[in-house]
Structures are given as structure tokens and as C-alpha cells.
Amino acid sequence: MDGTGDKTAELFHGQAQLYRLMYLWMSSLCLKCAIELEIPDIIHEHGQPISLSQLVSDLKVPPSKTTFLKGLMRLLAHNGLFTIIKSNNNEEESEVSYDLTSASRLLVNGTDHCLSSMVQLTVSPALLDLYQNLGKWVRGEENTLRETSFGVGVYEFLAQNPEDLAVFQEAMASDSRFMKLVMKDLESVFDGLNSIVDVGGGTGTTAKIICEAFPKLKCTVLDLPEVVSNLSGNSNVSFVGGDMLKSIPHADAVLIKWVLHDWGDDDCLKILKNAKEAISGNGKGGKVIIIDTVLNEKEEQHEVLETKLLLNIMLAAEFNSKERSEEEWKKLFLKAGFTDYQIFPIFGFRSLIVLNP
């Protein structure tokens, strides 16, 4: 047998890979569909794995849509959103049931860690339409994809569109609620601090969680004036309108959560230098606390790395920035005047980075 068979097999393998990539958008929209149908809520309220027939009944969908619903659950189960539970009998056509996984539990409404708003933001028609212009943007002179499509960058666009800003803020707040999961592990990080500035802290979700865990700590949330102008704080949390590229209020520590990856190296340096200035003069030795992604392509699991690489595309297109490796982070830290840093991979695909001057 000559090599024709091997070459043919390679071509068919390549064809399957291309078709998979062509239809990846379908997985995202099926995820959105499951949220719109409230399938995670239905299974959660059911209290046990749910059969397809029961799901059809609860959803009150027409019988003609049963085939689609079965295919939807099969695809999402394949992608890890649901678990397929087979019955114990030996019938070939026995009905299967579906249960929640760690991913779909994050889509149950009313829980502390619901990420439905993040999904709705990311899979919105407007955003999907925006990314239809990637090729045009790459060949053009505009700095970001949004400038190609709308003539303004992300933050200018959000400032001009209050409804989009509200959706964005709720999505970011849903992500920030995950801080509750690790506060017990961060005692050594916040121990001995009296004050902290949450840079780019939005509506203050992270700040409030930190102050609930450490009630003696005073937290200032720094964000753009249009973001914080109508927000009210409490005895522990206050809001300040400003520009982190120009200055950061003084405190024992500065927190920068999922912000630096939105900025190119030059702007990151400005923010880091301002953060260093903000903690200067602290006799106890201030610190800068960063929560962000650290790329490690050689050691990461396939799905985690793919998540980071997808985010890297989004950052390049929307902000003209990038996810960074440890070496790239280190160069920025040293240029900004920091002499020591530690990285702790405790936030899933993101890490905790502690900088000391």
C-alpha cells in the first residue's frame, strides 16, 4: 500500500478540524440558549438529575422541538456544561438524565457566584457583530477593533452608551464575587493593612467583599468619574473619581484586579509607577496586589491555556494589549521600580501577584 491512504486520512482529519473551528460559535450560542431557557435553574430546582422528557415538560416546548433540545443537551454535556446520567437498566433506548457540573452551577440565578451576566455580555449580538470586522481592523490603521467599527475605543463607547455600561458593570461585578471564595486564604496578604485603594474597582463589589472579611480595613475605590459619580459608600468603603494613569490615592496597599491586561506596556508602567508612589512613605512597607492572568504555555492544561489565548485575542482587538507571561510581567515590575514579586495561582485561570517596593 502506498502513502495515498495516509495522505487521504490527513486531509479528512484536517477537514474535521476546520469544520469544528467553523462551528465553535454554535457552542457559545447554545450556552446562551441554555441560560435563556433557564435550564440550569430547572435542574437545580429539580434537586436531582432530570430526564429529557421532564425537561421538555418543564420548558413547555412544542414536541417538534424535542429533537433540538436533546441535541442541545448532548452538545453542552460534551462541552462539560452538564453530565449525562444513564439509567441502570439494560434497555438500549433507556432515557438518560442530565445533571449540573461545576460550570453550569455558575449559571444558577440567585447564587453568590452566578456568571450568567458575563455570558450574556460576551455572547451578545452586538459583540458578535463587532468581531465580524477583525480582518478589516487588522488591515486598517485604527488602534482597536471598536475604533474600526464605532470610531471610539471601549471606554469612550461605554461612556456614550449607559445601557451597555450597566451590562458591562454587572458582568464585572459577577466576576468579582468570586473573591469570596478565597478571602480566607488571603489573610496573610491583607494582614497589618489599614487602608487599600482598589484601582479600577468599578461599583465596589470587590472592595465590599474585602471589607466584610477585614472590617478594620478602609478601602477607597478609584474609577472614572462617570462610573462612581452616583455611588455611595459606607464606613469602610468610599469612592473617588479619577484617572489611574495620572495618580492613585495614597494607602497602605493598592489592589489592581483584572485591569493591567487591558493596557499596553507603556500605560501599565504608568499605572505601576503610580501605584508605587501611592504606597511610598508607608513605614510598614506597602504592597501592590495584582490579580491577573499569567501565561505559561508549557505547563498549562489545554482548556485553561485555550481560555487565556482566547482572552489574548480579545485584549489585542479591543484594547491593543495582551496577556503576559511571567517574564513579561517581571520586566514591567522591574522597570516600574519594584524589587520583589511573588505569584500565587489561586484564582483559576488568573493569579495573585504581590509586589514589594
Catalytic residues, which ones? 261
Separation in Å, CA 27 to CA 24, 30, 62, 313 = 6, 5, 23, 18
In degrees, rounded to 5, the angle at the alpha carbon of residue 265 between the alpha carbons of residues 263 and 270 is: 80
Instruction: Confirm if 130 and 146 have CB atoms less than 8 A apart.
Output: yes
- Which of 333, 332, 291, 334 lies closest to 198 in space, CA to CA? 291
Amino acid (one-letter) located at 320: N
What's the burial of 51, exposed, middle or buried (CB within 10 Å: 0-12/13-18/19+)? middle
Other CB atoms within 10 Å distance of the CB of residue 33: 16
